[in-house]
Amino acid sequence: MIELRNVSRFYRRGADDVHALENVSLEIPAGRFVALMGPSGSGKTTLLNMLAGLDRPSDGQISVAGRKLNDLSEDELAAFRAGHMGFVFQFFNLIPVFSARENVELPLLLTRLEKAERRQRAETALRIVGLAGRASHMPAQLSGGEQQRVAIARAIVTDPEIVVGDEPTGDLDAKNAEEVLGLLRTLKREFGKTVVIATHDPRAERYVDEVLLVDKGVFMGSRPGATGASPVSGTAR
């Protein structure tokens, strides 16, 4: 369960305060696939960063998987992310000097797992995303879609409850975008993950349970996705 209570985020830009988020309250139950949608600059990435523990609210409370993120120190937040969150970004951000398997293995370096166990888990994650045969390829040898699938494997290799994605299809062609969205839906359906993405991609609506609409830093409400799951609760303006 992800819960935001009256969350606001202000940035200081010169002499002005920029209100990136204003008084957002919502709950995302565990095991849902949710898309944050809205125009550029609407605050969806800020909202995603807040609930993922990458940024702190100026005001309000955030609770994820039973932990109040406001109360956590920077190190505790890092440990929380390592244990509970998986991340997928627009530009894949694989480390170019590591193979696909080594990239997937990266989050496991933070655990006490032995090398053989780390390797095995990385290969399992690559198998889930359909890249078992590309484990030893370097990122430059993979297509954009394949690189994003490696990034998804990296996001799930620690078996987190929540996977967050910031424009995960933003740098992909239509075919690869559909594949990645399908893969994220599989994570929700077959592995019970909570998946939250911020996206402009209208295709996402066909894959998600719910679309949360954000505009000008305000939560505008939600509408069901194509899967037809019950709506996310929240306070919309």
Partner 1 sequence: MIKFIPFVWRNLMRNPLRSMLTGGAIMLALAMVCVLRTAPEGFDRFLDNLAKNSRISIHNTAGIVYGMPYAYLARIKAVPGVVGAVSWSWFGGAVDRDKGVTFPNFAVDADAIGVVFEDLGIEPAAIEHFRSHRDGALVGRMTMQRQGWKPGDEITLVGMVYPVDLSFRISGEIPAEQDPRFWFHRTYLEEALRAQGIPSDQVGMIWARIDQAELVPGVMKQIDDMFRNSEAETESETEKSFFQNFFSLLQGFIVVFLIVSWLVAGCIVFIAANTASMAVRERMRELAVLKAIGFRWRLLFTTLLGEAALLATVAGALGALLSLALTRALATQAAMTPTMGPLAGFVVTNWMLVEALFLAFFIGILSGVVPSFGGARRSVATTLREVF
Q: By the criterion CB under 8 A, which residues form the site for partner 1?
A: 45-46, 49, 52, 54-55, 74-75, 78-79, 81-83, 85-87, 89-91, 93, 95-98, 106-107, 109-110, 115, 154-155, 166-167
Alpha carbon distance, N-terminus to C-terminus of the chain: 22
Q: Which is nearer to partner 1, 60 or 225 (CB)?
A: 60
User: At closest approach, how far in Å is the CB of 230 from partner 1?
Assistant: 30
User: At closest approach, how far in Å is the CB of 54 from partner 1?
Assistant: 5
What would the DSSP string read from start to end of 32-84? -EEEEE-STTSSHHHHHHHHTTSS--SEEEEEETTEEGGG--HHHHHHHHHHH
User: At closest approach, how far in Å is the CB of 94 from partner 1?
Assistant: 9
User: At closest approach, how far in Å is the CB of 84 from partner 1?
Assistant: 9
User: At closest approach, how far in Å is the CB of 25 from partner 1?
Assistant: 21
Alpha-carbon gap, residue 148 to 173, rounded angstroms: 12
The two structure tokens encoding residue 102: 């080594």
Q: Which is nearer to partner 1, 98 or 191 (CB)?
A: 98
Q: Which is nearer to partner 1, 17 or 223 (CB)?
A: 17
Compute, in degrees rounded to 10, the torsion defined by CA atoms 202, 173, 169, 153. Answer: 140
Q: Which is nearer to partner 1, 37 or 94 (CB)?
A: 94
5 CB neighbour count, 10 Å cutoff: 17
Q: Which is nearer to partner 1, 16 or 75 (CB)?
A: 75
How far, rounded to the nearest angstrom, does the alpha carbon of residue 86 sit from its chain's CA centroid?
6
Query: Exposed, middle or buried: residue 61 (CB in 10 Å: 0-12, 13-18, 19+)?
Result: middle
